[in-house]
């Protein structure tokens, strides 16, 4: 066997950043396995960090011009875990009720995970620039915001053992199914990752771990309800960005096609 096929020779600097994100994702899953809400919160907190590693490895790859096939495969496998499987399992642990309704929640979690995996697989085989469907880091960020909206609401009303709002348990499976569909739909298209995406993640992504630490410290009710409202605002903002951004691109495409026909 050639020495060139050994793992150390195949990996570049940005691949080690990707593996760091994968490691954090596995640790997040282990945290969630304890089943306590504070441990689940820690799991979501760790997943929010992997949003940063995902941006960094891509940035390093472009700056150092070290895009390689090994890295592409590794990146997709890592994203499948950190942005698909782990958020799905953490969501099930966070919103399960111990009733038959957990079966529906399980379906939602599976749909979310499969949507992320299928989207990443399709992305690898398409040569078209840009993105078809909502990128998995965005759908993962939506799940994180949904969880922390409810998590801090519960903290504001008494602590970790206080149930979430009843509506949250009923909405969760359909929210996850919707995100899974948004991952694979062809009705939503994004241009190539630009400054807007980076600015959004640079501003929003760090706030999740910051507020996650605040949640572990068990803040006062006023602080907790304020943070809950902030996460709800982020949730609405990101959904609005997805809808508006894709709608604008669709209009521009139609206008361009119309001009070409003329």
Question: What is the rounded CA–CA span in Å between residue 60 and residue 62?
Answer: 5
Residues 6 or more apart whose CB falls under 8 angstroms from that of 211 comprise 148, 152, 227, 230, 231
Report the pLDDT value the prediction gives residue 127, as an integer from 0 to 100.
Answer: 64
**Does position 1 have pLDDT exceeding 50, yes or no?**
no
How does the average pLDDT of the chain come out, rounded? 82
In 133-262, beta strands by DSSP E: 189-190
Residues paired with 190 in a beta bridge: 131
Q: Which residue has the higher pLDDT, 48 or 91?
A: 91
Question: What is the rounded CA–CA span in Å between residue 139 and residue 51?
Answer: 11
- In this prediction, residues 121-148 reach a mean pLDDT of 84
Report the pLDDT value the prediction gives residue 60, as an integer from 0 to 100.
Answer: 81
Residue 132: pLDDT band with limits 50, 70, 90:
confident
Q: Which residue has the higher pLDDT, 23 or 126?
A: 23
Report the pLDDT value the prediction gives residue 118, as an integer from 0 to 100.
Answer: 94
Asked if 187 and 132 touch (Cβ cutoff 8 Å), the reply is no
- In this prediction, residues 241-255 reach a mean pLDDT of 64
* C-alpha closest to that of 28 among 183, 209, 169, 220: 209
For 163, the domain range is 3-261
Share of the chain above pLDDT 70, in %: 79
Report the pLDDT value the prediction gives residue 69, as an integer from 0 to 100.
Answer: 73
Question: What is the rounded CA–CA span in Å between residue 225 and residue 221?
Answer: 6
Q: How many domains are there within the chain?
A: 1
- pLDDT tens across 188-199, in order? 776 665 555 556
- pLDDT tens across 41-77, in order? 999 999 988 988 888 887 787 777 777 777 788 888 9
DSSP class of 3: G
Half-sphere exposure of 60 toward its Cβ, with a 13 Å CA cutoff?
A: 16
């Amino acid at each position: 066997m050639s020495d060139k096929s050994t793992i150390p020779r195949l990996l570049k600097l940005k691949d080690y950043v990707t593996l760091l994100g994968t490691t954090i994702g596995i640790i997040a899953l282990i945290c969630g396995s304890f089943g306590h809400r504070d441990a689940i919160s820690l799991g979501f907190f760790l997943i929010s960090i992997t949003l940063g590693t995902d941006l960094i490895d891509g940035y390093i790859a472009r700056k150092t011009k070290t895009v390689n096939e090994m890295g592409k495969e590794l990146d997709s496998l890592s994203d499948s875990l950190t942005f698909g499987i782990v958020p799905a399992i953490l969501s099930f642990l966070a919103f399960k009720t111990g009733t038959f309704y957990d079966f529906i929640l399980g379906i939602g979690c599976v749909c979310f995970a499969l949507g992320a995996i299928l989207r990443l697989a399709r992305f690898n085989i398409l040569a078209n620039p840009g993105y078809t469907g909502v990128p998995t880091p965005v759908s993962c960020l939506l799940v994180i915001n949904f969880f922390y909206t409810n998590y801090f609401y519960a903290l504001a009303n008494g602590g970790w053992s206080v149930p979430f709002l009843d509506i949250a348990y009923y909405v969760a499976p359909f929210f996850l199914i919707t995100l899974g569909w948004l991952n694979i739909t062809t009705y939503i298209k994004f241009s190539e990752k630009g400054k807007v995406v980076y600015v959004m993640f640079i501003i929003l992504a760090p706030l999740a771990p910051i507020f996650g630490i605040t949640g572990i410290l068990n803040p006062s009710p006023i602080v907790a309800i304020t943070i809950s409202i902030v996460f709800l605002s982020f949730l609405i903002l990101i959904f609005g960005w997805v809808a508006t951004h894709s709608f604008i691109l669709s209009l521009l495409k139609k206008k361009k096609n119309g001009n070409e026909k003329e």
